Amino acid sequence: MTNELYYDIVIAGCGVAGLYTALSLPRDKKILMLSKEDVASCDSMLAQGGICVLRDDDDFEAYFEDTMRAGHYENRAESVEIMIHSSRDIIDHLLALGVRFERNADGSLAYTREGAHSKPRICFHKDITGEEITTTLLSHVQKLENVTIMEYTTMTDIIETNDVCVGIRATDPCGNRMDIYAPDTVMATGGIGGLYQHSTNFPLLTGDACRIAKEHGVGLEHMDYVQIHPTCLYSTKPGRSFLISESARGEGAVLLNHKGERFVDELLPRDVVTEAILREMEREGTQYEYISFENVSEGTVMAHFPNIYRRCLEEGYDLLREPVPIVPAQHYFMGGVHVDSDSRTTMAHLYAVGETSCNGVHGKNRLASNSLLESLVFAKRAAEKIAVTQSTIS
């Protein structure tokens, strides 16, 4: 037996993209959000480094070029411009919502730097920026009377009528089927890391939206553009790989081989650094190389990277006193469901946001700390387009 539900908007996914979509929609809209597991099990929670922002007008050309160069100039320039120009409003809104970005002594925002950035322009909260942003957004969404969140509920299909999306099919925690009808549907199911043996992602991220889109002839883009993160903590234990944030290298951490020699410029784009590590591993015949925090002060480590420090200790490494073994692992998906600048897919009334979507911002290789920003910018644009569309229809 299939239960039928009716909402104004249904959103599959409760990461930053799904949450910000819900938060940006009109309060008179009845919204249902689905979470495949509990709401804490989303990759947005795992983002360590931070979120980029345009520091001032003089930074635009450099930020644009940094993003394009990291993406091998396969980025969609219009999307990159939209993201950069929208960044300050997004950061200001996050601050207003209560996100605790680090600040300097004078109260101004503190910025860190990561690979392929020509200057520091990344806002952060310790080394758990994603958790800080996601939990803040979630706390606000949970207070909205017009939003219902169903945990342990999985999108299995979309409902299509005459080439128009009219809702989602899902299963609840007991395996019961639900047909959820809504004038507009948003897919925000994250990436594909669960399909890999070694990934920084939660195992539940299995590309559900991409599979469903393909089955319905909805456009996909750059499905082979998968980013490998250079520095994940090497471990023989099974399970998700633990990321050592790129901002560690931005603050001065260096990569060393087994002879204690540096072998790459640590601030090059991620794909370049990854290739260098893999080449060095092959040359040395080893399963890992090292990251050293010898040039990073203890104060910076304890203030900026407390979670990384703690996790390394759990694995038996004191990064204040010794190099830590690292190895590349699957990290991010630049491809996905093709969308326009308003996050619309090629099927009417079906939207995709966050890592699920491909709006062209990242090109072939994502610039560090653009993911949270891109997700928020284009989630808001999806919400605004849905609001206008539903207002026009009504």
| pLDDT value at residue 46 | 85
Of the candidates 113, 240, 270, 344, the residue annotated as catalytic is 270
Short-list 366, 382, 350, CA closest to 182: 350
Contacts of 219 (CB under 8 A, 6+ apart): 213, 337, 338, 345, 346
Helix axis angle for 371-393 and 129-141, nearest 10°, is 20
Tokens encoding 129: 């920026």
Angle between helices 129-141 and 16-24 (to 10 degrees): 40
pLDDT at residue number 43 = 85
What are the start and end residues of each CATH 3.50.50.60 domain in the chain?
A: 2-224+334-393
The CATH 3.90.700.10 domain(s) of the chain lie at: 229-330
Give the pLDDT of the chain (394 residues) as one tens digit per residue: 789 999 999 999 999 999 999 999 999 999 999 999 999 888 888 888 899 999 999 999 999 999 999 999 999 999 999 999 999 999 999 999 999 999 999 999 999 998 899 999 999 999 999 999 999 999 999 999 999 999 999 999 999 999 999 999 999 999 999 999 999 999 999 999 999 878 999 899 999 999 999 999 999 999 999 999 999 999 988 888 999 998 999 999 999 999 999 999 999 988 999 999 999 999 999 999 999 999 999 999 999 999 999 999 999 999 999 999 999 999 999 999 999 999 999 999 999 999 999 999 999 999 999 999 999 999 999 999 999 999 887 6
Using H for helix, E for strand and C for coil, what is the string for 212-226?
HHHHCCCCEECCCCE
Angle between helices 60-70 and 77-97 (to 10 degrees): 120
- So what's the architecture of 229-330 in CATH? Alpha-Beta Complex (3.90)
Give the list of residues 6+ apart from residue 365 with CB closer than 8 angstroms, or none.
70, 71, 72, 225, 227, 269, 270, 271, 334
Annotation marks residue 270 as catalytic: yes
Write down the residue that tokens 């609001």 correspond to: 387
Separation of alpha carbons 21 and 3, rounded Å: 25
DSSP state, residue 44: G
The architecture (CATH level 2) of 2-224+334-393 comes to 3-Layer(bba) Sandwich (3.50)
The helix (run of H) or strand (run of E) holding residue 382 is helix 371-393
Helix then strand then coil, % of the chain, to nearest 5: 35, 25, 45
Calpha distance 269→118 (Å, rounded):
11
Cβ contact 358:3 at 8 Å: no
Helices (H), 268-370: 270-284, 298-304, 306-314
Q: Residue 76 has what pLDDT? A: 98
Would you state the pLDDT for residue 394?
Answer: 61
